Structure 1
Amino acid sequence: MNDITVYTTNTCPYCTMLKNFLDDKGIAYKEVNVQQDPIEAQKLVDTTGQMGVPQSNVNGQWVLGFDPNSIMSHLK
């Protein structure tokens, strides 16, 4: 079972592309909208040092941006 969390905002086109990619592949994920959750947004910055979205945590590995190849490489 894969553990995937995707950090997004409302206005990010790459976030939508990433979610569509995962949906198309039938890969389950949890979405955290950092625009609506400032506490999670701060935790994300503290953890990764990155402000940008999308960021994905795939089985404990961080992937920055819309990077399907990296995401697939971390799947079980």
Structure 2
Amino acid sequence: MNEIIVYTTNSCPYCVMLKNFLEAQNIDYKDVNVQQDPLAMQYVVNQTGQMGVPQTKVNDEWVLGFDPEKIMSLVN
């Protein structure tokens, strides 16, 4: 079972594209809005050193930005 967490903000078009892509592939994911959860944003920065969104954690691997091919390569 894949564990996929997408870290997003309200105003990010790539976040919407990424969530739409995952839904189109019938891939379950958890959406964490870092705009509403500053601790989650701090966690992401601590893990990746990156402030930008979307960032996606797929089974303990991080994918920065909108990168469907990389996400699909990590999904079991």
Q: In the TM superposition, what are the counterparts of 1:20-59 in structure 2 within 5 Å?
A: 20-59=20-59
Query: 4+ residue stretches of structure 1 with deviation over 2 A?
Result: none
The gaps in structure 2 that reach 5 residues or longer are none
Does residue 1:11 correspond to 2:21, yes or no?
Answer: no
Identity rate of aligned residues, in percent?
66
SS in 1 for 2:6: strand
Partners of 1:60 and 1:41 in 2: CA distance: 17
Query: How far apart in 1 are the matches of 2:48 and 2:62?
Result: 8
**What CA RMSD, in Å, does the superposition of the two structures yield over aligned residues?**
0.4
Q: Which runs of 5+ in 1 are unaligned?
A: none
Count of residues paired in the alignment: 76
Summarize deviations over 1:32-70 as a string: whole Å, max 9, x none: 000000011111111110000000000111000000000
- Counterpart Cα distance in 2 of 1:59 and 1:39: 20
> 2: distance between equivalents of 1:70 and 1:60?
13
Q: Which residue of 2 aligns with 1:63?
A: 63
